[in-house]
Every structure is written in structure tokens, then in C-alpha cells.
Amino acid sequence: MGTTDNGNTIDITVDFSGGLEMLFGNQRRHSVSLPAVDSSGKPTNMTFLIDYLCTHLMKDPRVDLFVLDKHIRPGILVLINDADWELEGEETYELQPRDNILFVSTLHGG
Amino acid sequence: MARALCANCKAERAVIKRPKNHAKLCKVCFIQVFEDEVHHTITSSKLFYPGEKVAIGASGGKDSTVLASVLKTLNERHGYGLDLVLLSIDEGIKGYRDDSLDTVKRNAVQYNMPLKIVGYDELYGWTMDQVVETIGKKGNCTYCGVFRRQALDRGAKMLGIKHVVTGHNADDVAETVLMNLLRGDLARLSRSTSIVTGDSRSEVKRSKPLKYSYEKEIVLYAHHKKLDYFSTECIYSPEAFRGSARALVKQLERVRPTAILDIVRSGEDVARLVPGEEPSSCACSGQKGAAGLVDDDVGGCGSQNGRTPGGEMAAMDKQLRDNEASEGLEIDVVKTMVEGNAARGEKRDLPIRAGNTSKGAPRQVLGNCKRCGYMSSQEICQACMLLEGLNKNRAKIQI
Ligand SMILES: [Zn+2]
Ligand SMILES: [Zn+2]
């Protein structure tokens, strides 16, 4: 079902809110270009994206505020095109061109 | 993978998976169901009366913003006849509140509600920045917390309002239940589950209409309704023990999402066992019986000893606990238990239940602070004690 455009890269937008933007240079929206397949030739999925964000986009040394034990920290919601990622296969979701991924923390002050 | 359809309307794409029952809902149905459930909480708990003036404790954060939005919606939809006001506290931390107060100011326009901002300087003669200048950063959260506790009430009183609603959600309640469980403090555990706090002795009633709402759904509600809220952390150190309880709640939620409401309900069931505590859940949601829990489960351990030994944390914790206990009601079970545990040097003062005058408890234990009149179990309330210390320090500095 995936259409990977020219086969090389997938362009998506990634949003951070609920305080997470503080970890990513205080910027809410980021345009991200990812390789269409990972190093083992599998389509790029959420696991790849999360790792990519930690290594390329995060401006803060406190990685554990975003990822804990190799998974998204409990209390952070992930929406894929506005839908709860639990409905989309979570980390196994394969990214599509023009996807919008939102990470929103529920952990900050009410 | 195949896109799930909404379990309710069966027409739109599901975007929500509800933590409490795994129901998959579309955006419109979710918003409706979320509001209906808060309405149910409000009516089954008889939280309001027609014409009541109610202050919404507004921080600009997600919980209070959602509370304001939902209350406005329900007030109009169901004709509650409430006179709603936004009430914000300015702790006087330079820069910290600027953005959140701006958010509240926008909310006031968006929701067409009057807004009153009350400063710590106005209420106590001290901003938090001045407190930190005087005592340093260590322990200042104690001051901030104690002052904040009274600030909403005092602010409401200034406005002639007798009811303050706050945005505490199910996760917050679960977190507090766990904290008190881990401390072996059943009386406070019971109180923390109550939807209404403050009684005939307090001039201002407090309630939490979002008590059964998951934090996750609150955030999703704010997201899908595109509400304007602000996220920040207190720039001063967070309370470590609460932070651990919070992390535990979130981890439990990941493994079993119903855990959060289950903890809330367990807390309510415990409250039923505690003499003098009113069951606080609505009749239809609290059907899980308390059977099986017997006295043995509450007594017979040294769990009062189990608190973090020494250190600033314990002291701060105790201070906060004493303060909260001053509003609260203790129970015979715990009292007996602690008395039986006489060897403990740490034995803390237990406020006596109001109705428990048969034992000759002096009535004034739940009286009012001699300085400020705020409800207190001591002659001088916690805030006034802290202020006294601060004012002495200020005098010293000026010399
Ligand atoms: Zn629907
Ligand atoms: Zn006082």
C-alpha cells in the first residue's frame, strides 16, 4: 500500500507539543526527510523515526525525557495523521510520504 | 493496516482508542462522550446548584483549560445556570507565569468569562522570587505548595465565590492514592479520592469535575478541539516522591490502561471503610464491593515507619502532609495503630475527627488560624508559620 515516491526519501512533518518542543530547539514543527528503507532494506517505520529524532533532531541531552528503555516514554502520546498510534501499529507503522507525526507530552503542568 | 471505524457512529474513521474500555471512536463521538461523562459526574455528584457562582482555578495548562471549555459547553448545553469565573494565581516567579497568564487571558476572551488574577504578593506580601532570594532554592516548593493551596480559596473569597473547581484528573487522583498507600496514610488516601473537599468549616468548597477523566483523554480533547493551552514545568525542583508515583502510574497505564481508574475506584473503596469518610463515587460507577478487605489489611504493620529516612525530602514531605492533614480527617484505625506503636519516636500528631468528640477532643483542633482565619488544625496555619519565618529572615537581612 505504500507509495515511496522516488524510492529514496520520504518527506514527513513531525510536531512536538505539551512541552516536548523544549527538547527539540523550542520548535514545534519540523520537516523531516527520511530514507525510504532502513539499512536492512525494510521500509522505514516509527522505530526508525524515533531513533532518527534522538540522534539528529534533539537539542537536549536529556534523551530519557523522550525515550525510556528504548521506547517512547510512558505519558507521551503519539498521533499519526491525528490518529492515536495505538490504532496504527505503534512502532511498526511504516511511514508514508506527507505523514504528520505528533508527539505530545501529558506530563507537564495542568 | 485496515483503518478502524468509529464504534459509535460506524461512519467515521476512529482516531481514539479509549484507555478505560479500548473503545475506538472518531473525533466527534469522542468529544461528545468525553463531555457526557463529565456531565454525568457533575449530575450524579450534585456538584452544582442553579445560579451558583463558580471559580475555575485556571493555570493556562491543559487540565484547567479543558475544564473551562467543558464547563462552558455543559453549562450552556444542559442549562446548569452557573456563573463561571476564571481565577488564576500569580506566584511571582519572573518569566514563569508570563506565558501561562497570557494563555489564561486569551481563554477569558475565547470563553467569554471574567478573569481574576491574584498574586502571592497581594495574598502573602511575598513573591516566590523573593522567597527564593531569602531561603534559596532548596525547599521552596514547600512554600509554593502551601501558599498555592490557600491561594485559590483566598482569591475566591476576595471575589465572594464559595466554590472553586480544579482540573485534577484521574491520573492525579491515582497518583495521590498510590503516594498515600506507599506512605501508609489511609486517611489521606481516602480524602484524596473525594470529589468534593472542604466542608462546613471551610468557607470555600473545592471540587474536581474531571476526577474520572484520563489525562490522556484530556490532552486528546484539547488537541481535537484545538484548545489554546500552555505547557511548562515549575522551574524549581519537583517533588521527588510524587514524581516517582507519577511515573509508576504512567507505566501501569501502558501495561494495562484501566489501571488508572481501577486505582481511583480502589481508593474510593478504601474510603468507604474509613469511619467518617463519605463514599464519593457516583452510585453507578462504584459497584465494586469492598468485601474481602478486612481490618487486618489496614492495621498491624509498621508502615508509618516506611517513609524516606532523613533529608530535606522527608522534612518537606512532612510539612506538606501536616498541612494537608490540617484540612483533613484522621481515622480511628490509624490512630489505634499508631498509638499501639508507641515506641516510634516519629509519632506524628493526629488531628481528631470532628465527630469524635466523645473522646474529649478539643473542638478547636479543626478551628481557624488565629492570624488569617484559614481553616487549620493548629492555632497558626502552615502558611502563616512559613510567613513568620520568612518575615524574620527579611528583618535579619535588612539589619
Ligand atoms: Zn463516531
Ligand atoms: Zn493563617
Q: Supply the ipTM of this predicted assembly.
A: 0.91
Residue B200 sits in a domain whose CATH number is 3.40.50.620
> What is the average pLDDT across B97-109?
90
Range of the domain at B185: 45-274
Report the pLDDT value the prediction gives residue B282, as an integer from 0 to 100: 53
Q: Does A78 touch chain B (CB under 8 A)?
A: no
The candidate with the shortest Cα–Cα distance to A16, out of A53, A45, A55, is A53
The count of structural domains within chain B is 1
**What long-range pairs does B100-107 form, CB within 8 A, spacing at least 24?**
B100/B59, B100/B60, B100/B61, B100/B230, B100/B232, B101/B60, B102/B60, B102/B230, B103/B60, B103/B65, B103/B228, B103/B229, B103/B230, B104/B58, B104/B59, B104/B60, B106/B228, B107/B58, B107/B60, B107/B65, B107/B68, B107/B228
Higher-confidence residue of B30 and B380: namely: B30
> What is the average pLDDT across B83-106?
89
Q: Look at residue B277 and tell me whether its pLDDT is greater than 80.
A: no
Q: Which ligand is nearest to the CA of B31?
A: 1
Higher-confidence residue of B378 and A41: namely: A41
CA distance B63 to B172: 11
Q: Which residue of A has its CA nearest to B234?
A: A109
For residue B62, the chain A residues in CB contact (below 8 A) are 18, 106, 110
Cell of A98: 506527507
Report the pLDDT value the prediction gives residue B381, as an integer from 0 to 100: 87
Q: How far is B393 from chain A (nearest CA, A)?
A: 31
Q: Where are the alpha helices (DSSP H) in B274-380?
A: 295-298, 311-327, 332-339
Domains of chain A as residue ranges with CATH: 9-97 (3.10.20.30)
Report the pLDDT value the prediction gives residue B365, as an integer from 0 to 100: 52
Is B303 domain-assigned? no
Higher-confidence residue of A82 and B241: namely: A82
Q: Look at residue B372 and tell me whether its pLDDT is greater than 70.
A: yes
Is B103 domain-assigned? yes
Q: Which one of A16, A22, A69, A87 makes the best mutation probe of the B interface by having the most chain B beta carbons within 10 Å? A: A87
Give the Å distances, CA to CA, from B138 to B100, B314, B316.
Answer: 24, 13, 10
Is B82 domain-assigned? yes
With a pLDDT cut of 70, the percent of chain B lying above it is 73
Q: Look at residue B326 and tell me whether its pLDDT is greater than 60.
A: no
Report the pLDDT value the prediction gives residue B100, as an integer from 0 to 100: 84
* Least confident range of A16-30, B3-17, B130-144: B130-144
CA triplet A4, A73, B22: central angle to 5 degrees?
80
Q: Look at residue A7 and tell me whether its pLDDT is greater than 70.
A: no
Question: Within 10 A of A97 (CB to CB), how many other CB atoms are there?
Answer: 15
- Diameter of chain A by CA atoms? 44
Is B18 domain-assigned? no
pLDDT bucket at B382, cuts 50 / 70 / 90? confident
Report the pLDDT value the prediction gives residue B192, as an integer from 0 to 100: 86
Residue by residue, DSSP assigns A41-91 as SPBPBHHHHHHHIIIII--SS-GGGTEETTEEPTTEEEEETTEEGGGTTGG
Is B349 domain-assigned? no
CA distance B29 to A108: 27
Report the pLDDT value the prediction gives residue A95, as an integer from 0 to 100: 97
Report the pLDDT value the prediction gives residue B340, as an integer from 0 to 100: 41
> What is the average pLDDT across B259-275?
91
Q: Does B246 touch chain A (CB under 8 A)?
A: yes
Model pTM? 0.79
Is B80 domain-assigned? yes
Average pLDDT, rounded, for chain B: 78
pLDDT bucket at A107, cuts 50 / 70 / 90? confident
User: Could you tell me how far CA B180 lies from the centroid of its own chain?
Assistant: 13
Strands B163-165 and B83-90: unpaired
Report the pLDDT value the prediction gives residue B281, as an integer from 0 to 100: 56
> What is the average pLDDT across B91-119?
90
Question: Within 10 A of B305 (CB to CB), how many other CB atoms are there?
Answer: 12
Q: Which ligand is nearest to the CA of B26?
A: 1
Q: Does B324 touch chain A (CB under 8 A)?
A: no
> What is the average pLDDT across B80-85?
97
Q: Which one of B31, B175, B231, B242 makes the best mutation probe of the A interface by having the most chain A beta carbons within 10 Å? A: B231
- Diameter of chain B by CA atoms? 74
Torsion of CA A7, A9, A13, A14, to 10 degrees: 120
Sign for the pseudo-dihedral over CA of B229, B233, B239, B244? positive
* Least confident range of A58-72, B103-117, B294-308, B311-325: B294-308
Q: Look at residue B280 and tell me whether its pLDDT is greater than 60.
A: no
Q: How far is B44 from chain A (nearest CA, A)?
A: 25
Contact A106 B13 (CB under 8 A): no
Q: Look at residue B352 and tell me whether its pLDDT is greater than 70.
A: no
> What is the average pLDDT across B264-287?
70
